[in-house]
Amino acid sequence: MRHEHLLRLAMACSVAAAVLVIDQVSKALAIAELTGLGRIPLLGDLLGLQLAYNPGAALSLGANRTWLITLVGVIFIVAACAALWRSRTMARVVGLALILGGALGNLVDRLFAPPSFGQGHVTDFLAYGELFIGNLADVALGIGVAIFVLAYLRERRRESAAPERVPAASDIPVSQNGES
């Protein structure tokens, strides 16, 4: 059992690290190639490339509290690591690894991107219609949450559908005089 646990953790670290690297490389490419350009359509008005810097969380919420969002991000990453440590199914591990990698990708921006340490703006470049602009870390977060929730719901359904265990004869206590 210990070997399986370590294997799941190693896989989770690999997935999270891959998400982090892909996210940071894609952001560097976006900065290098999209600076000074407007929106570049990929799928008409549905999806395009547009460079933006987000001081807030999703949909620019909390833009004036970047330091607080950074702190919440650190706490969230610690919680995700703790949940990964306790995870027993591969689906939950994969979901949490994607979530962790995405959260780390955006945290790196908050820590090291301008304007200052801990108050950096997240680099976004995937424009979803007129709704919002995100990045690959956000994509990993969304997919990770979906996988995690589906795994949780599947496990709950299995638990509720499992037949109740009928006590075996050896489970029934026997009194000293042989009567039950």
Q: Which residue has the tokens 């026997």?
A: 174
pTM: 0.83
pLDDT digits (tens, 9 = 90+) for 103-152: 999 999 999 999 999 889 999 999 999 999 999 999 999 999 999 999 99
Torsion sign over Cα 93, 21, 56, 113? positive
d(CA 39, CA 45): 10
**Structure-block tokens of residue 131:** 């709704």
Active site residues: 124, 138
Q: Measured between alpha carbons, how far is 96 from 12 in angstroms, rounded to an integer?
A: 8
